[in-house]
């Protein structure tokens, strides 16, 4: 149940001022934003392509190389199970690696852009 809070006297809105559309577009064209976009894409695209290729290899081997995937590694553990578990491990490693990369490379650039835009308003 939402409550209606009347606006402050004088009709002024509360909260921080928002940049205009023109300011956002100007920022999008800036060199600093281009560097941020490049830093993100140069990390995310190769890892995404690599992971999709790795996943498709697993699927294709599961469908067309049953004999290989059924090869016992240790006891009842076969190659298919090892590859399947490696998919999970790879997913978590990529997420961890991206988190570290974003914290050290992307977040400082994003914060600088945010601070500058908030200061301009």
* pLDDT tens-digit readout, 36-89: 999 999 999 999 999 999 999 999 999 999 999 999 999 999 999 999 999 999
Domain of 102, in residue numbers: 30-120
In contact, 113 and 32? CB cutoff 8 Å: yes
In a domain, 24, yes or no: no
Q: Which pLDDT band, with edges at 50, 70 and 90, does 9 fall under?
A: low
In a domain, 91, yes or no: yes
In a domain, 113, yes or no: yes
In a domain, 102, yes or no: yes
Q: Per-residue pLDDT for 1 more than 70?
A: no
In the three-class reduction of DSSP (H, G, I as helix; E, B as strand; rest coil), residue 105 is classed as helix
In a domain, 66, yes or no: yes
**CA distance linking residue 97 with residue 19, whole number of Å:** 33
60 burial type by CB count under 10 A (0-12 exposed, 13-18 middle, 19+ buried): exposed
Give the tokens for residue 4: 């209606």
The tally of domains found in the chain comes to 1
Contacts of 87 (CB under 8 A, 6+ apart): 54, 55, 58
In a domain, 99, yes or no: yes
**Which of 6-10, 35-39, 83-87, 89-93 is the least confident region?**
6-10
In a domain, 10, yes or no: no
Task: Express each pLDDT in 101-121 by its tens digit.
Answer: 999 999 999 999 988 888 876
**Helices 107-120 & 31-64, crossing angle to 10 degrees?**
140
pTM of the predicted structure, to 2 decimals: 0.73
In a domain, 97, yes or no: yes
């Amino acid at each position: 149940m939402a409550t209606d809070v009347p606006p402050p006297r004088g009709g002024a809105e509360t909260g921080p001022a928002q940049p205009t559309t023109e300011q956002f577009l100007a920022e999008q064209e800036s060199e600093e934003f281009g560097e941020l976009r490049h830093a993100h894409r140069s990390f995310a695209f190769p890892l995404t392509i690599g992971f999709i290729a790795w996943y498709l290899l697993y699927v294709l081997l599961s469908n067309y190389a049953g004999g290989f995937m059924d090869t016992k590694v240790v006891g009842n553990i076969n190659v298919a199970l090892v590859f399947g578990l490696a998919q999970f491990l790879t997913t978590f490693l990529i997420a961890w690696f991206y988190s570290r990369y974003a914290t050290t490379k992307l977040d400082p650039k994003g914060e600088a852009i945010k601070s500058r835009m908030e200061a301009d308003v």
